[in-house]
Chains A and B, each alone.
Chain A
Amino acid sequence: MSPLFSEPPLSEEERLYLLLESYLAGDAKSADVKRVRDWLGADPRRGQVIEDIRRIRDIVRAGTSHRSSEEAWRRLLPILLAEHHGSVAALGRLETSRRRLREWAFPTVMRGNRRLAVAMLVLAIGVPAVVTSAVSWRRDVQSARVASAGVRTVATMRGVREEIRLADGSLVTLAPQSELVVERSPDGARNVRLEGEAYFDVVHDERRPFTVHVRNAIVRDVGTRFAIRAYPADSLVRVVVTHGQVSVRPESTTDTTGMLLDPRMLARVNAAGAVTVETDVDTARYVAFRRGQIRFVATPLRDAVLELERWYDIQIRLADPQMGSRHITATIADQTLPDLLDQLRIALNVDVSRVGESFVLSDKPASERPAL
């Protein structure tokens, strides 16, 4: 018999726990129920003890649905065996730069001296770029945008996201490779133009509606939080509302009311100007980028790859173009590049190797694919 089973008699504390546990489980004898109630009643602090037991019971009871260790090992093994790209270690996480841009004219008068500070960019491959001044530019834009009368531009490059505080207190989070142009209107109206993706947290002001012009759509609100996406590669403009109400209309119409969107509604404006609305969406998915998170939910791999390239400023190639139609469901949360690549290996069950400046995703040879 194991030594575990020839222990000394129970202490008073141990007896108590046993009693309380039976009481909570509902199978204590009626005499014991009375004893517990008397005991609890005698000192209110004793409530903590029974609460602890209850809590312990809840925790132990809690089910889990994670994979078995065998299955998890089968998924991990190929990654351990893969060649690691040592030179990539230099690539760091995504950087977010926060800036207050005091010169935004919303509706303050423009300052006398317009500073044209030139952004200092570290363009060396593999180092995240940190934008340090008031004007930045996109790598693929022919000429840098220059602050001119009444207009300010902020642009992010690949691999960089930016938070911009406007003078009226509104906050805009720009995703990578995006551009925000702020126009100053004599009547104080708040107008911006967007290319790419951004999340808007607009300060409420009914007298001065906040209007976003994005491709062929116009999004208007008076004080809400919403996300807009319209990259050149996207075929349509997407608007998701998390708080408040916005109106969305194609610029071609004269009717200025537009489609009204409440929270958890999503509108799409296609090239022809048709607006379709989806209700009851999981907004977290569409605004995850604010926190540096990307969520893929059964996303076609070819689209996911575009997104990752933009966020990490890398090149990804698929060894077999057919792979592009596979679906990936994963959450990327500001991982370092090596961790991201590991995650792709696991999620897609592929090899990831470095070929020149690109990362190539390829199927494993049939013999190595674990039985799922």
Chain B
Amino acid sequence: MRQTKKYEGDDAEALNARDIALVDRIRRDELGAFEELFHAYWDPLCRYAFCYVRSTDDAEEAVQTVFARIWRNRAGWRVGGTVQDYVYLATRNVCFDRLKREAVVRQWGERRVLELRSSPEHGVQADSLIQNAEVEAAVERAFAALPAKRRRICQLRLSSGLSYAEIASLLHISQKTVETQISRGLKFLRSRLEAVRG
């Protein structure tokens, strides 16, 4: 299996160091530290959860649950790998719990509810829908993990549809830099997509 870089740039190390420090303080009942963690991860985790549960309310609820549980169990909170891995995994688990309990798979894009019955045809459909969710979630997470500047440039290009010249002008950088940032961003995002797709 090809080893793909999970994080981009030096930011990742610094970020994790910050997170670990927060965890220590949270374990010691520091609400302020918990709030910092909350603000740091709320947006990306909501987008991530949405990929699975396909509803804004449910996504928010899932992330709220993750944080409420962390706080409730803060005294013995242990983080094995990175804090980022932990919160993303916890969110995914909460989403899956919900999906499993519902035993209902929602149709992507159209929000129709598809009953998951015992027929194999529906089984296959459910698998591919979950696979879709995993791919989307992986890209969401990777995007959130891009260094701030790169993420901003990619956002301006992919989401807002600005031209290279417009972005360069807006951020006071060269067009060459814009090209570099976008291509590197796409390469990283695609590598994460491939890793999940297999």
* Chain B: CB-nearest residue to A26: B161
Interfacial chain A residues near B31, Cβ < 8 Å: 80
A292, B186: Cβ atoms under 8 Å?
A: no
CB of B123, distance to nearest CB on chain A (Å):
17
- Within 8 Å of chain B (Cβ to Cβ): is A322? no
Q: Would you call A333 an interface residue if the criterion is a C-beta within 8 Å of the partner chain's C-beta atoms?
A: yes
Query: Does A17 lie within 8 Å of B193, measured CB to CB?
Result: no
Q: Which of A4, A27, A80, A334 contacts B71 (CB 8 A)?
A: A80
Number of B residues with CB within 8 Å of any CB on chain A: 59
Q: Is B65 an interface residue when CB atoms closer than 8 A count as contact? A: yes
Stretch from B16-24, B76-84, B85-93, B139-147 forming part of the interface with A: B139-147
Q: Report the minimum CB–CB distance from B2 to chain A (whole Å).
A: 14
- Measured in the bound complex, the distance between the Cα atoms of B86 and A241 in whole Å is 43
- When chains A and B are docked, how far (Å) is the Cα of A358 from the Cα of B127? 42
A18-30 interface bits toward B, Cβ cutoff 8 Å, 1 = contact, 0 = none: 1001000101000
Question: Which chain A residues lie closer than 8 Å to B38 at the CB level?
Answer: 69, 72-73, 76
Q: 1/0 per position for A51-62, CB-CB distance to B under 8 A?
A: 011011101110
Instruction: Tell me the nearest residue of chain A to B138, going by C-beta.
Output: A59
Instruction: Tell me if A55 and B56 are in contact (CB < 8 A).
Output: no
Bound CA span A57–B159, Å: 7
Distance (whole angstroms) from the CB of A201 to the closest CB of chain B: 10
Query: Is B107 located at the chain interface by the 8 A CB criterion?
Result: no
Assess the A72–B42 pair: CB atoms within 8 A: yes
- Tell whether A141 is near chain B: CB-to-CB under 8 Å: no
Q: How far is the CA of A18 from the CA of B187 in the complex (A)?
A: 9
B167 close to A (CB within 8 Å): no
Contact at A57–B193, with CB atoms within 8 Å? no
Nearest CB to that of A5 among chain B residues? Answer: B177
Interface stretch (choices A6-14, A101-109, A253-261) = A6-14
Considering the chains assembled together, what is the distance between the CA atoms of A60 and B156 in angstroms? 10
Chain A interface helix/strand/loop/mixed: helix
Contacts of A118 in B (CB 8 A): none
Query: Does A342 touch B at the CB level, under 8 Å?
Result: yes
Q: How far is the CB of A59 from chain B (nearest CB, A)?
A: 5
CB-CB nearest in chain A for B186 = A17
**A residues within 8 A CB of B113?**
284
B98 at the binding interface (Cβ < 8 Å): yes
With A18-B183, A56-B139, A57-B158 in contact, is A292–B101 under 8 Å at CB? yes
Known contacts A5-B177, A66-B56: A84-B186 contact under CB 8 Å: no
Chain B residues near A57 (CB-CB < 8 A)? 158
| Count, A-B residue pairs, CB within 8 A | 126
Q: Are the C-beta atoms of B149 and A2 separated by less than 8 Å?
A: yes
B13 sits at the interface (CB 8 A)? no
Q: Is the CB of B42 within 8 A of A69?
A: yes
Contact with B along A280-319 (1 / 0, CB 8 A): 0000100000011100000000000000000000000000
A13, chain B: closest CB distance, angstroms: 6
Given contacts A4-B147, A292-B101, contact A65 B64 (CB under 8 A): no
**A15 interfacial by beta-carbon distance below 8 Å:** yes
CA distance A17 to B188 in the complex (A): 11
Picked from A14, A56, A73, A343, the residue with its CB within 8 Å of the CB of B35 is: A73
Residue of A nearest to B102 (CB): A291
Closest partner residue, chain A, to B70 (CB atom): A80
Q: How far is the CA of A331 from the CA of B104 in the complex (A)?
A: 14
Q: B67 contacts A67, CB within 8 Å?
A: no
Closest Cβ neighbor of B40 among chain A residues: A69
Tell whether, in the assembled complex, residue B183 and residue A76 are in contact, meaning their CB atoms are under 8 Å apart: no
B184: nearest chain-A partner, CB-CB: A14
A7 CA to B181 CA, complexed, in Å: 10
A: residues with CB less than 8 A from B are 2, 4-5, 7, 10, 13-15, 17-18, 21, 25, 27, 49, 52-53, 55-57, 59-61, 64-67, 69-70, 72-73, 75-76, 79-80, 84, 284, 291-293, 331, 333-334, 339, 342-343, 346
With A4-B150, A18-B182, A59-B140 given, can you name 13 additional A-B contacts, CB distance below 8 Å? A10-B183, A14-B180, A52-B194, A60-B143, A60-B154, A65-B56, A66-B43, A66-B50, A76-B67, A80-B31, A80-B34, A331-B57, A333-B102
11 interchain pairs, CB-CB under 8 A: A10-B180, A55-B193, A56-B186, A64-B50, A65-B56, A67-B60, A72-B64, A73-B38, A291-B102, A292-B102, A333-B98
7 closest Cβ contacts across the A-B interface? A69-B42, A14-B183, A17-B186, A66-B46, A334-B101, A60-B158, A18-B183
Chain B residues at the A interface, C-beta cutoff of 8 Å: 9, 31, 34-35, 38-39, 42-43, 46-47, 50, 56-61, 63-65, 67-68, 71-72, 98, 101-104, 113, 135-136, 139-140, 143, 147, 149-150, 154-155, 157-159, 161, 163, 173, 177, 179-184, 186-187, 189-190, 193-194
